[in-house]
Structure 1
Amino acid sequence: MFLLLFGGLSLSGFSQETAPKEAVTDEELKKFATVEVMTSEYVDKKTLELREMILNNEVIEGGARYNEIKAAWGDAAKEAEIKLTAEEKIAYQAIKDFQDSLQQSVIDFKTDLIKDDAVLGVSTYNKVNGAIKGDPALKEKLDQLVAEMKVKKDGV
């Protein structure tokens, strides 16, 4: 579900600096990795919220009915066939609205982290992001750092 979310998440709108390229420090890479981990945790939290909304909805009463409504949604004949009630329509729409807002919510969350100089900062983001695009070894180092940070946070 959220693969599309990350695929669509692009913060390249931040202006790229034209200063000569400096080497990325371990501290800068760690800050960048921290933002990636925090964003991943935020997505996990929101995914859990969405799951709970679906499974604990008193009107829809679980995932099976949710999937049935989702498959019929927008097709009057199919909605009639599954006997979709007005209450179910309202409940499903509320879940759908939450789901539709998730991508923007994640973008806003990550953007706020990037803009916060205490967390990362736009100039550091641009520097590291540009460097990992041009250096596969640095990208691999970042990926390993993110994986290690996730393991430490999960206590695995």
Structure 2
Amino acid sequence: MKKLLGLAFLFCGLIGFNAQAQDEAVEEITDEEIAKFAAMEDSVMAFYEQKNVELISMIKENEVIDGAGRYNDIKGAWEDEAKLAEIEITDEEKVAYEAILEFMGSLSTEVRELKIGLIKNDDVLGIATYNKVNKAMKANPEVKEKVDSLMAELKEKRTPAEEESTSDES
């Protein structure tokens, strides 16, 4: 009887190990999947950086608010009527600041929608691949390191081109 019970535990253990091995085999991440994931993340980051440049430009070049200094004054006083009166904010400055806030609010929505669109697009990444790589990154630091390394390479490749196009406009 003890031998039968021991054999049953051994058998159950082997089944459990076999199921775990199958799960790991299914979750194996290819270099192509990692590259697609990193490219998607880099595309989102590039879009965010571009929009952030637009935001900074919107603040610095705003004729009503007259630059970053005044913007910071308004930002610090916003939603406090006494402070707004103290800095003598004009109605035009309120409208301009609200436009900047609206742009900032739409920025997070645009970035999220872009990322979701890229994830859902099977030609770019696909939901299954996103979930698979994302899960692997959380479980395995080596996978996260690979993704981070590829993203750094992609950023390095695109940054000089962006700087050239920015300096050409000046």
The one of 61, 64, 75 equivalent to 1:59 is 64
The one of 30, 40, 45 equivalent to 1:40 is 45
Which ranges in structure 1 are unaligned for 5 or more consecutive residues? 1-18
Query: TM-score, length-normalised on structure 1?
Result: 0.84
The one of 26, 29, 38 equivalent to 1:24 is 29
How many residues end up aligned between the 2 structures?
Answer: 138
The one of 127, 137, 155 equivalent to 2:142 is 137
RMSD: 1.5
Which ranges in structure 2 are unaligned for 5 or more consecutive residues? 1-21, 162-170
Listed one character per residue, the Cα deviations across residues 99-154 of structure 1 (whole Å, up to 9, x for unaligned) are: 12222221111111101111101111011111111101111111111111111222
Matched, 1:118 2:123: yes
Listed one character per residue, the Cα deviations across residues 45-83 of structure 1 (whole Å, up to 9, x for unaligned) are: 110111011011111010001001111111111111111
Taking only the aligned residue pairs, the percentage that are identical comes to 51
Instruction: State the structure with more CA Rg.
Output: 2
Q: RCO higher in 1 or 2 (8 Å CA, sep ≥ 6)?
A: 1
Partners in 1 of 2:120 and 2:105 — Cα distance? 24
Matched, 1:83 2:88: yes
Q: Per residue, is there more helix in 1 or in 2?
A: 2
Matched, 1:109 2:150: no
Query: TM-score, length-normalised on structure 2?
Result: 0.77
> Which residue identity is paired with 1:126?
N
Partners in 2 of 1:86 and 1:150 — Cα distance? 41
